[in-house]
Amino acid sequence: MGKMDGKVALVTGGASGLGAEDARVLAREGAKVVITDMNAALGEEVAASIPGCLFLQHDVRDEARWAEVVAETISRFGRLDTLVNNAGLVRFGTVEALPYDDFRLQMDVMVGGAFLGCKAAIPHMSKDGSGSIINMASVAALKGISSIPAYTAAKAGLIAMTRSIAVHCREQGHRIRVNTIAPGGIVTPMTAQALAELPQDAAGLDQIQNHGMGQPIDIANMVLYLACDDGRHITGTNITIDNGETMA
């Protein structure tokens, strides 16, 4: 018996990195999994490597497409129990250098995308009486990093919004738990991009030298915990997984 037997999970940004590993772990524990991403070629490849996994191309900024994705998930698998809002991106530049369009893009994808995902998923989860929404934040939300002001703002906003949505679900009598996870430095394509684009002494990259890099499985194991019944008493919480990076 897997911890997710009989459950259906939807993971955005599932074509690589944390999203792909989340999908693998949830499927390994018995879930039927749908992954979405803008990158169709990579998304199809990941889905093909996970038994029974469905890939849907998806821009999380598109509200109409969110309705289609949720409807297709339910049409294919009959229900929706877990939503992992993992889609994200980073554009580098200090407040003086970052174009405003890049600021808005990051806010739209990570805060707006999660907002639309919750809005689309909650009515269907509440029909079944329960569910779990996991929004992927970052330790960037908890510390100042001069080279990514929009990314830090988006992830901090995501934590605050998650608490509000958790309260809403409680007030409405939905047994839907809503939490964030804030990873530190994890070995992913996005981290590789940061290492390639930023000077090695750039502020905010000190976790690589001082704390070591985690692996996607370190985050996926917590996604599983929050998605399954093990996490049934946790909602409105941010869980930091950073090997002590934010202790000081």
Which residues are known to be catalytic? 151
Whether 38 and 19 have beta carbons less than 8 Å apart is answered as: no
Neighbours of 67 (CB within 10 A): 13
Asked if residues 66 and 117 have their Cβ atoms less than 8 Å apart, the reply is yes
Distance CA 20, CA 86 (A): 10
8 Å CB contact between 134 and 180: yes
Given a contact cutoff of 8 angstroms between Cβ atoms, the answer to whether 194 and 211 are in contact is no
Exposure string for 19-44, b = 16+ CB within 10 A, e = fewer: bbbbbbbbbbbebbbbbbbbeeebbb
